[in-house]
Amino acid sequence: MPAGNIEKLKYAVKYGADAVYLGVVDFSLRAMRKGELITLENLKYAIDTARNMGAKSYLTLNIFAFNHDIKLLESCMDKIVESKPDALIISDVGIMRLAKKYMPDTDIHVSTQANILNYEAVKFWQDMGATRAILARELPIKDVAEIKNKVPDMELECFIHGAQCVSFSGRCLLSDYMTDGERKANSGNCSQPCRWSYKLVEETRPGQYYEIEENEKGTHILSTKDLCLVRHLKEMIEAGIDSFKVEGRTKSLYYVSAVAKAYREAIDAVMENPNADMEEYYQELLKVGNRGYTTGFYLGEGYPKDGYSYDISKGLAGADFLCEFLDGRYNAENDYLKFTEDENGEYYKIRTKNKFNKNEDIEIISPSEKFTAQVTEIINMKGENLELANTNDELYVKLTKAPAEYKYALARTVGIKGGVNEIQKCSCGD
């Protein structure tokens, strides 16, 4: 699972990730902006945190490096060595050479940016000292199986869920061009121009713009749907894939948690029963932000015709993220909080993300639970009773049923918004 910051790292692991991948801004293909960012200064703390929680950490150093990047990286290698990641994710052979020089005993995972499409390429990287190949997303499952058969002692990793790039394995210059070099996609700062809405202008008629339409669906002509392969876990496991990867270091805390939970439970179900029904997990994934789902290249030789999101550019979720439960309940010593002596139950501290009302039914998820409860009381920090929990407030709530693991619990609206299921269910190549 992606660890865009330290908080997301903790939630990813709690919700079921065996490993997280993380990066620091200068050497990673995602530039983070929110939360407790992972930097060279706290990198060791982040990796130690994951390790103490029972998960591995893979450090992404997967930029395409210029001379100045190499010099900067070499000046930082002491802190990277000190942090002791379980593996380094690399696409540039120059960076790989530095990694082998300074960290000869650390596993090397070759990034999907290296466009690995065949078994000879996997053998090449294995000869170079890599222990895992993160295969290109353009591969069908049958080719993955053939690679595993040809190179059985090399670990294979494949993306299984998340946003996709319109360019081949993400190697795109469109952002660089559209921002005059200010937002370089392969240096971690993509502006995602593939998600923009475009108009057409004829050069002899400046100022006269025409809509670009695809069957009247809109003008997002480059925007791909998101990858979702939960329904095909059995085939992917049988193909010999060692590690499933989810895209999304810039996604929300709720996204990371809910997706991790869905895939953790789905993988466990398939391992117990290869013919287990995956539909309930697919329905869970409809509740997180997405642009519609597709199976990408995995089921055949080409990208499906319905794999582009012509109607929307931003992800829409089938459920609204309402609040996260914070590490604290009402303290009876606080002047405003003496009513915690109430024999009817405890009050839980939350941070709201979207509005909800008193007496509203909400769905609560935690690493071990999922259930519906009613909000019976909302209290602000002054001890005042409220009818409405507003966005971005810190409040206390009482529920008809409280989460056992409240520290990592999240709440969302019940069910799936009207239309989301019908629109997206038919766009997965099934």
Q: What is the pLDDT of residues 123-174, one digit of tens each?
A: 999 999 999 999 999 899 999 999 999 999 999 999 999 988 776 666 676 7
290 and 377 share one domain: no
Specify which of 25-39, 82-96, 170-184 reaches the highest per-range mean pLDDT: 82-96
Measured between its terminal Cα atoms, the distance across the chain in Å is 26
Q: Does 409 have pLDDT greater than 50?
A: yes
Residue 251 backbone dihedrals phi, psi, to 5 degrees: -80, 170
- Which residue shows structure tokens 């061009």? 177
Q: Does 242 have pLDDT greater than 70?
A: yes
- Could you tell me if residue 422 is inside a domain? no
- Could you tell me if residue 19 is inside a domain? yes
Give the residue with greater pLDDT, 133 vs 336.
133
Confidence of residue 179 (pLDDT cuts 50, 70, 90): confident
Least confident of 17-21, 107-111, 310-314, 414-418: 310-314
220 and 72 share one domain: yes
271 and 328 share one domain: no
127 and 238 share one domain: yes
Q: What CATH number is attached to the domain comprising 191?
A: 3.20.20.70
Q: What is the pLDDT of residues 1-51, one digit of tens each?
A: 999 999 999 999 999 999 999 988 767 555 555 567 889 999 999 999 999
Q: Does 344 have pLDDT greater than 80?
A: no
CA distances from 232 to 224, 298, 378, 414 (A): 20, 9, 42, 26
Q: What is the pLDDT of residue 92?
A: 94
Confidence of residue 225 (pLDDT cuts 50, 70, 90): confident
Confidence of residue 328 (pLDDT cuts 50, 70, 90): low
Q: Does 398 have pLDDT greater than 80?
A: yes
340 and 198 share one domain: no
**Cβ neighbours of residue 415 closer than 8 Å, sequence gap 6 or more:** 319, 363
224-256 as b/e: b if 16+ CB within 10 A: bbbbbbbbbbebbeebbbebbbbbbbbbbbbbb
Closest residue by Cα to residue 60 from 97, 115, 33, 99: 99
Q: What is the pLDDT of residue 338?
A: 43
- Could you tell me if residue 300 is inside a domain? no
Closest residue by Cα to residue 238 from 308, 141, 96: 141
Q: What is the pLDDT of residue 428?
A: 36
96 and 11 share one domain: yes
Range of the domain at 156: 6-294
- Could you tell me if residue 420 is inside a domain? no
Confidence of residue 430 (pLDDT cuts 50, 70, 90): very low
180 and 241 share one domain: yes
- Could you tell me if residue 427 is inside a domain? no
**Cβ neighbours of residue 45 closer than 8 Å, sequence gap 6 or more:** 6
395 and 340 share one domain: yes
- Could you tell me if residue 208 is inside a domain? yes
Q: What CATH number is attached to the domain comprising 344?
A: 2.40.30.10
- Could you tell me if residue 308 is inside a domain? no
399 and 288 share one domain: no
Distance CA(151)–CA(74), nearest Å, equals 32
135 and 267 share one domain: yes
267 and 370 share one domain: no
Query: How many domains is the chain partitioned into structurally?
Result: 2
- Could you tell me if residue 316 is inside a domain? no
Contact 165, 194 (CB under 8 A): yes
196 and 57 share one domain: yes
Q: Does 310 have pLDDT greater than 80?
A: no
Q: What angle do CA 3, 139, 121 make, to 5 degrees?
A: 90
Q: What is the pLDDT of residue 9?
A: 96
Least confident of 120-124, 130-134, 185-189, 250-254: 185-189
